[in-house]
Amino acid sequence: MRLAVAGKGGAGKTTISATLARLEARSGRPVLAIDADANPNLSAALGVPPAATEGRGVIPASLVSRRIGGPGLTEPVDDVLDRYAVAAPDGVRLLAMGSPAHADEGCLCSAHAVVSSVLQDLSSVDRLVVVDMEASPEHLSRGTVRHVDAICLVAEPYYRSLETVRRMAALVDELPVRSVTVVANKVRSARDEQAIREFCERHEFALAGLLPYSDEVGEADRARVPLVEWPAAAVVVAAVAALAGELGPHRP
């Protein structure tokens, strides 16, 4: 299954992506995590030491060629993963989209093409692929994630975050993605939960789950410890674990 996680900046995409990836890997499932953000943070959320990703984890654009219907890899995807993926805790493998090395150097077209090509060739149903997307809708407008099986839209219970989900959902609806769900994050009260549920009902979005707000998420980040390794955040981690079985085909 290829799952992309999207939403407004700061909604919790990276924390959810990393926690879900490690929990699923602990269950024995092969997991590939893809940091599809030009400002990468997924490695830190997974618990990969900075030195392990220096000069590694990024597939060179030279391994992507044009095909009818879009870009594609010039080598078998498993060979590419063996050469470029970085090992993360619990057996997770990590790839990154690539970041600009300098200012004023142009667009990230080749980086998007790499992500699209990898996703197209990762068709194994036994492997979970978690794609941590950037806050921009560019991945959707470019069709970079057109080959995922599901997109999870992370929403916080306030207007601007919900509006972002609504706009992104409209773009997802134009892609051949068979499943789209909403996950409510940082839910503090029954009023927050009601706001999310009413929003999803109004727009006919499937609500996959609700994650409670916890100061411990910030504490874990300040300590540079992955959430899944922070005992005080066990309630949030358990809520993410419950999502795993809900992120299937729920498109209206």
According to the model, what pLDDT value does residue 122 have? 86
Q: How far apart are CA 183 and CA 127, in angstroms?
A: 22
Q: Which residues contact 83 (CB under 8 A, 6 or more apart)?
A: none
Query: pTM here?
Result: 0.90
Order of strands across the sheet with 150-155? 86-87, 93-96, 31-36, 128-133, 2-7, 150-155, 179-187, 206-212
Q: Following CA atoms 135, 139, 145, 149 in sequence, which dihedral angle do they give, to the nearest 10 degrees?
A: 40
According to the model, what pLDDT value does residue 113 have? 79
Q: Residue 41: what are its φ and ψ, rounded to 5°? A: -140, -5
According to the model, what pLDDT value does residue 223 have? 96
According to the model, what pLDDT value does residue 252 have? 41
Answer whether residue 250 shows pLDDT above 60: no
Q: Stretch 149-162: mean pLDDT, rounded? A: 93
According to the model, what pLDDT value does residue 98 have? 63
Task: Break the chain into its structural domains and give their ranges.
Answer: 2-243
Answer whether residue 7 shows pLDDT above 80: yes
| 38 against 24, higher pLDDT | 24
Q: Stretch 126-141: mean pLDDT, rounded? A: 86
**Cα 101 to chain center, whole Å?**
23
According to the model, what pLDDT value does residue 99 have? 64
Q: How far apart are CA 11 and CA 142, in angstroms?
A: 22
Q: What is the pLDDT of residues 199-243, one digit of tens each?
A: 999 999 999 999 999 999 999 999 999 999 999 999 999 999 998
The class that CATH gives domain 2-243 is alpha beta
According to the model, what pLDDT value does residue 68 have? 61
| 92 against 65, higher pLDDT | 92
| 61 against 205, higher pLDDT | 205
Nearest to 131 by CA among 239, 33, 245: 33
Q: What is the DSSP code (8-state) at residue 183? A: E
What mean pLDDT value characterizes the chain?
A: 87
Answer whether residue 249 shows pLDDT above 90: no
Q: What is the DSSP code (8-state) at residue 97? A: -
